[in-house]
Structure 1
Amino acid sequence: MPDRHKAVALPRVTILATGGTIAGVQTGQAAYVAGKLSAKALLSALPDLSGIAAVQAEQLVNIGSQSMTWTVWAALARRITQIAQAGHADAIVVTHGTDTMEETAYFLQLALSVDIPVVITGAMKPANAYAADGPINLYDAVQVAADPRSAKKGVLVVMNGVVHSARYVQKAACEGIDAFESRNAGPMGYVNTTGIHYFYKGPVQKFGSASELHLDLSATDQDARPPVRVPVWYAMAANDIETLEALLLTKPAALVVAGVGNGNMSDETLQRLASAAAQGLVVARATRCAAGRVTRNLEVQDDAYGFVVTHDLNAHKARVLLFLALQKTAEIVKIQKYFDEH
């Protein structure tokens, strides 16, 4: 007869700390320094987790996310993969600065081939600020990660009680604890004292084991710079074409245009980039607007110019996809397919 009183094993959650405001210390009335507290210090500030998960913490780096590098991205992807493949944890929580959180989240969404929950969280206030949001965000993130329903949903971002998909989340404000939004698709769900409530299953695009853009983790010595140069060109009124020319002299592998409206740009810029595309530059049209979808061959004839469109990816997430796509191919048709499907 089975023992009804036998303890049920709790989900094992590993916290990988990378720094950020959640680990920051306020040094004056408003000033603070990010990335000062350790992973163990963050964990010690949480309410009792003994009924939710068996938690352990590791310090990967301790930096402000404005200083995030390709090396840290690769190390993070490698460590998550090692933990998942060895079966050392059932879920991962990454603590991270908010400034580039959406880029790291989307990078992991494309680069990882694991299907265990991976949840990213941070804070808009330093750890010793009045009413700091870090502890509750981390507590919520552990709850989400420990829930088996969070598996195979792609990388999740948990901030201010809201669960976002890495595909759609963006930092929409530079201050306030409600700074994160998912404008094109809406949040995936929310978390509160009654549990986790999901609105939809997950993004329809490829991610995790289905992604075609996994990072090659065989190289242990990753350069701090990305493998290719992919700058962002910001379209605006009275654009300075000479500045664009200077940028093209750096010989980037690709260029993301944060275009006005539906990814548009001046006629002069359009003709110059069409010429660059004909010489092998990958030109990707995004929008500088906060939401919406760039339409292929609408006002700009992308087929004729040899451009790709990023759909509803903002410019900095499009740049992340291009970093990975250009390790696979430089063919425009294939790169457009990656944007279509990821």
Structure 2
Amino acid sequence: MKRIDVLAVGGTISSVPKAGDSGVEPTLGAEAILGDRVGRPDLNLVFHDLPPLPSNWLSLEDAARIAARIDEVGADGSEGVLVIQGTDTLDEVPFAVDLLVRARIPVACTGAMRTPDRPGADGPANIQDCLDYLAGAVAAETVVILGGTVHPAAYVRKTHTLLPDAFASAPVGPCGVMVEGSFFRHRAPVERPALDLASGGESGVLLLTAALGDAFAWLPDLFPGHYRGLVVAGMGNGHTNRRAAHGIAEVAERHPVVLVSRTGGFPLARQTYNYDGSEIFFARRGVALSDLGDGLKARILLSLAIGGTASREDALALYRAAEARIIDGLAGE
């Protein structure tokens, strides 16, 4: 019988009405969330609970704790892990977990857009899809499964506040879909990169979105006192206001700086535009042009790269190595 470990971390899927007040709060543990509505007789389910929290309270340290627990159960004989959490950060935590986990086992993450007491609660179906996926999964990749769609952790995004189909994996598309208890794969798995990434505690990386006309004159004053690295989600091909560009370049002289597009698209052009605030301007000043395509993911990866090394140059080298493995995996190489 295949062993699957179920790790609950809270979220909407675990929420019940708050006693003596309005609204709901995360309360239920893994076994209570599954109840008697979902499961598979051919799986040996082992339950684990971390403190039930809203996922907007979670941090990079929490993601590291989840990854450490996955490594523990993997060393103990687990053949797959289901992580149940809130959806607010379901496009961030699984990616961080994927970068940190060393166990060569599949990990499926899910949650719910509706609380268990609501008509049409989606939690049980999402959990059942995860169990069905893990029952047959062999690739050591981390996925997010909601609404019957299996998304790669590196590219999943939350696209709506409340709708049940609130997640997408644009622009690359999903790994596949769950139909009648079986996984239909659309493309090759994106297996996790095995690199010396490490959580150094709280992120220490600022995510800055370029905005019309904003010079961010205060930016250099935040380094090194408040932050250790910077991710810029630039306009279009990763561009910024010309006044903002010089402050970003000043930070890049001493700290790792990564540039992505705020559109979420990729790749970035390297040799097209040449003026203050363009990709050529930034590349010549030591800014790493990234094809990860998502500022939230880039911030996580840079945070873990900084946590795994001491110097600006080494952090950027580690970032680029991890990014290359993710993109190679996406292409099925």
**TM-score higher than 0.5:** yes
Displacement after TM superposition at 1:281 (Å) = 1.6
Displacement after TM superposition at 1:35 (Å) = 1.5
Distance 1:45 1:139 in 2: 11
Root-mean-square deviation (Å):
2.2
- 1:324 is the counterpart of 2:304: yes
Displacement after TM superposition at 1:16 (Å) = 0.2
- Is the 2:198–2:305 Cα contact (8 Å) retained in structure 1? no
- 1:260 is the counterpart of 2:229: no
- 1:66 is the counterpart of 2:40: no
Partner of 2:188: 201
- Is the 2:132–2:181 Cα contact (8 Å) retained in structure 1? no
- 1:13 is the counterpart of 2:4: yes
1:16-58 C-alpha deviation (Å, 9 max, x unpaired): 0000111112569xx63341222121111523521x4221211
Displacement after TM superposition at 1:123 (Å) = 0.5
SS in 2 for 1:321: helix
**TM alignment of 1:246-325, pairs within 5 A:** 246-248=221-223, 250-278=225-253, 280-299=254-273, 300-301=279-280, 302-325=282-305
- Is the 1:26–1:129 Cα contact (8 Å) retained in structure 2? no
Segment drifting more, 78-87 vs 286-295: 286-295
Partner of 1:340: 324
- 1:44 is the counterpart of 2:24: no
- Is the 1:297–1:303 Cα contact (8 Å) retained in structure 2? no
- TM score, norm. by length of structure 1: 0.85
- Is the 2:292–2:298 Cα contact (8 Å) retained in structure 1? no
Partner of 2:329: none
Distance 2:39 2:73 in 1: 24
Cα 1:334–1:113 shift into 2, 3 Å: closer
Percent of aligned pairs with the same amino acid: 26
Distance 1:60 1:159 in 2: 21
1:207-229 C-alpha deviation (Å, 9 max, x unpaired): 53x4214447xxxxxx8x42x51
Matched residue count:
314
Q: Which segments of 5 or more consecutive residues in structure 1 lack a partner in the other structure?
A: 1-9, 217-222
1:35-91 C-alpha deviation (Å, 9 max, x unpaired): 1222121111523521x422121111200110002332222111110110121x211
Q: Which segments of 5 or more consecutive residues in structure 2 lack a partner in the other structure?
A: 274-278, 327-333
Aligned AA for 2:297?
K
Select which of 231, 235, 241 maps to 2:206: 231
Displacement after TM superposition at 1:321 (Å) = 0.6
- Is the 2:39–2:131 Cα contact (8 Å) retained in structure 1? no
Select which of 24, 43, 49 maps to 1:33: 24
Partner of 2:155: 168
- TM score, norm. by length of structure 2: 0.87
